[in-house]
A and B are shown apart, each in its own frame.
Chain A
Amino acid sequence: MALKELSSLEKCLGLKKPNKYSTQGEKKVPVLQNNQGSALVGLVTIASHLVCEAQRTELLGDSAEQRAVVQQWLEYRVTRLDGCSKDEVKVILKELNQYLEDKVYMAGNCFTLADALMYYGIHHIVMELAVEEKERYLNVTRWFDHIQHYPGVRHHLPPVVVLRNRVYPSSQH
């Protein structure tokens, strides 16, 4: 799962040479072995490394504040989203929906690594949402649709169909 995601990220970043990853432990934490012999461990660490390698550091945030917000959501992704229970899913969707009401992107006013990794991480959840739920979490859905259309992001994941005209107009707002 995380390995496919990293290879999609590589393509998204325009990195030509694919890296070889292995996993560690029960949770299948990704590991990147580099030539110097030391290893990079963990999704966020490796993803950030890839961004630097691609010389796209603006994707980590272009101000101190934005960098902090990017890091916050990367952490949220691995600590809250990954492997969460069904009940937690509802809470997370509600939190994100509220957060995204006045935002187009996870951090600042442009696409960052936080958008990419949140998108990869939440895809299987949004995929399963019923139409009515997609409308209930409208801001998440809108954000998700925008990111899945963002050039070069989607790759290994199937597109999720999003309706523009609401079927249950009274459910929110």
Chain B
Amino acid sequence: MYAVYVLVHGLTLYTYAENWRAYKAQIAAQYSGVHLKVASTPPAFTFGQTNRLPNFLNSFPLGKVPAFQGDDGFCLFESNAIAHYLSTDALRGSTPQASAHILQWVNFADSEIIPPASAWVFPTLGIMQFNKQATEQAKEEVKRMLLVLNQHLNTRTFLVGERVTLADITVVCSLLWIYKQVLEPAFREPYPNVNRWFGTCINQPQFKAVLGEVKLCEKMAQFDAKKFAELQPKKETPSKKEKGGKDAGKQQLQQHHEKKEKKEKKEEKKAASPAEEMDECEAALASEPKTKDPFAHLPKSTFVLDEFKRKYSNEDTLTVALPHFWENFDKEGYSIWYGEYRFPEELAMTFMSCNLITGMFQRLDKLRKNAFASVILFGTNNDSSISGIWVFRGQDLAFSLSEDWQIDYESYNWRKMDVDSEECKTMVKEYFAWEGEFKHVGKPFNQGKVFK
């Protein structure tokens, strides 16, 4: 079945770009010499989209990144587990004591560094509201944590043993943001051992290959109110909170806001760490280029396309997916289209025809949430045709809604189907199941591709 994310072969790490969690795995791979493909940009990976696809969720139920897939289909989520898997024995610690110490520092990073570091840094990136008390508290916690590290590194070159291990990789990556954003020279001066160790690590060739040149903070960054204001409206559009249709998403978001307000009131009293309010994933989502949702104006629909796609991917088409489709299809909210390639005489080799189809699917990537299609190549070399059945949100051809979508659609003749007609029922059945007479075509089925 077609979905962008299966196209990538080899050892693949799915992540958004410049994710410090992914860095842990990438640096480990540098040490072990494993060739790791990083899928962080479209078409291989689009954060907020690829990781919501049913196929992706099949392998990585949380839909979170980083996520790792081996060429043998071996899948892992949780960045620390991925880094562990990609490590050498030396990085993991070769004695029970060493590996336990390494685990100790990996957990230290997650529980002692990340919460206060996020609480301090996020407002400076404009991805979290500033709260003086919370920031001051985070600073104190960072100081305490740095003191512990400083004392440990007083007599040691690296955290565990005399070589770089996963402990160093993990703790360095976890400190990356504060060293870049807020640990100005005067603030970090009391921790010379940490500075020495951090500087040495980031300058090892294996770290450098992943991190590039790390520029240490010169002046402590302050709350970025402007950026925060800019990023705010984006939160009104459903992002990761969206589960069902768009409106369902909105409702959830509203609840989220209400919850948040209550929570904030509580927090004024106890000044708890607000890091959990908006994490860097939401931030990454929020800072995605703002594309308006072209389907925003449509009324709510009862037909849940994702649900159908799941059925279609996982269950028998004729006995389960198709009955589900017709039971739930909402002809007010969706339309069905027949599209036929206008230049069949140009289709020479079948593999080229396939590329034509997959290329189109990739260009339409952002349409995935609101469309489904099964497109079939008929015939053989030098005697073929391409046609497909498309299901779109709304009553119009979706292509006119966005410039990005207009590249291919003019190469096709489009015909809107009468949803209640016998013809439509037959075509949907044949195209979705990839079998049947295909009376209108007159060439044998060659292969099919599904956009979902």
Interface of A is mostly: loop
Q: How far is the CA of A166 from the CA of B196 in the complex (A)?
A: 20
* B291 CB-CB contact with A under 8 Å: no
User: What is the number of contacts between chain A and chain B, taking CB atoms within 8 Å?
Assistant: 43
- CB-based contact B155/A166 at 8 Å: yes
Chain B, 153-192, contact with A by CB distance < 8 Å: what is the 0/1 string? 0111100011000000000000000000000000000001
Chain B, 191-215, contact with A by CB distance < 8 Å: what is the 0/1 string? 0100111011001100000000000
Contacts of B156 in A (CB 8 A): 142, 164
B152 to chain A, nearest CB (A): 9
Interface residues of A, Cβ cutoff 8 Å to B: 101-105, 108-110, 138, 141-143, 145-146, 149-150, 162-166, 173
Count residues of B near A (Cβ-Cβ below 8 Å): 14
| Nearest-CB residue, chain A, relative to B208 | A109
Chain B, 129-165, contact with A by CB distance < 8 Å: what is the 0/1 string? 0000000000000000000000000111100011000
- CB-based contact A101/B196 at 8 Å: yes
A161 to chain B, nearest CB (A): 13
Contacts of B195 in A (CB 8 A): 102
- CB-based contact B155/A164 at 8 Å: yes
Contact sample, A vs B, 27 pairs, CB 8 Å cutoff: A102-B192, A102-B195, A102-B196, A103-B196, A104-B157, A104-B196, A104-B197, A104-B200, A105-B200, A109-B199, A109-B203, A109-B204, A138-B155, A141-B155, A142-B154, A142-B155, A142-B156, A143-B157, A145-B157, A145-B162, A146-B157, A150-B162, A162-B155, A164-B155, A164-B156, A165-B155, A166-B154
Contacts of A104 in B (CB 8 A): 157, 196-197, 200
5 tightest Cβ-Cβ pairs between the two chains A and B: A109-B203, A149-B162, A146-B157, A104-B200, A102-B196
Residue from B154, B197, B199 whose CB has the most chain A CB atoms within 10 Å: B154
Interface residues of B, Cβ cutoff 8 Å to A: 154-157, 161-162, 192, 195-197, 199-200, 203-204
Q: How far is the CA of A31 from the CA of B407 in the complex (A)?
A: 76
Q: How far is the CA of A89 from the CA of B368 in the complex (A)?
A: 73
Q: How far is the CA of A173 from the CA of B162 in the complex (A)?
A: 22
- Given A102-B195, A110-B204, 16 more A-B residue pairs with CB atoms under 8 Å apart are A103-B196, A104-B157, A104-B196, A104-B197, A108-B203, A109-B199, A109-B200, A138-B154, A143-B157, A145-B157, A145-B162, A146-B162, A150-B162, A164-B155, A164-B156, A173-B154
Contacts of A142 in B (CB 8 A): 154-157
Residue from B155, B192, B195, B199 whose CB has the most chain A CB atoms within 10 Å: B155
B43 to chain A, nearest CB (A): 38
Contacts of A150 in B (CB 8 A): 162
Q: How far is the CA of A166 from the CA of B151 in the complex (A)?
A: 10
B96 to chain A, nearest CB (A): 18
Contacts of A105 in B (CB 8 A): 200
Contacts of B204 in A (CB 8 A): 109-110
Q: How far is the CA of A104 from the CA of B199 in the complex (A)?
A: 9
B163 to chain A, nearest CB (A): 8
Q: How far is the CA of A67 from the CA of B200 in the complex (A)?
A: 18
A55 to chain B, nearest CB (A): 18
Q: How far is the CA of A9 from the CA of B156 in the complex (A)?
A: 25
B171 to chain A, nearest CB (A): 15
Contacts of A164 in B (CB 8 A): 155-156
B160 to chain A, nearest CB (A): 11
Contacts of A102 in B (CB 8 A): 192, 195-196, 199
| Nearest-CB residue, chain B, relative to A62 | B205
- CB-based contact B192/A101 at 8 Å: yes
Q: How far is the CA of A105 from the CA of B161 in the complex (A)?
A: 16
| Nearest-CB residue, chain A, relative to B204 | A109
B157 to chain A, nearest CB (A): 4
Contacts of A141 in B (CB 8 A): 155
Q: How far is the CA of A173 from the CA of B189 in the complex (A)?
A: 13
A63 to chain B, nearest CB (A): 12
Q: How far is the CA of A108 from the CA of B203 in the complex (A)?
A: 9
| Nearest-CB residue, chain A, relative to B202 | A109
Q: How far is the CA of A73 from the CA of B220 in the complex (A)?
A: 36
Q: How far is the CA of A165 from the CA of B192 in the complex (A)?
A: 18
Q: How far is the CA of A143 from the CA of B155 in the complex (A)?
A: 9
Contacts of B196 in A (CB 8 A): 101-104
Q: How far is the CA of A108 from the CA of B155 in the complex (A)?
A: 20
Residue from A138, A146, A166 whose CB has the most chain B CB atoms within 10 Å: A146
Q: How far is the CA of A110 from the CA of B205 in the complex (A)?
A: 9
Contacts of B154 in A (CB 8 A): 138, 142, 166, 173
Contacts of A143 in B (CB 8 A): 157
| Nearest-CB residue, chain B, relative to A173 | B154
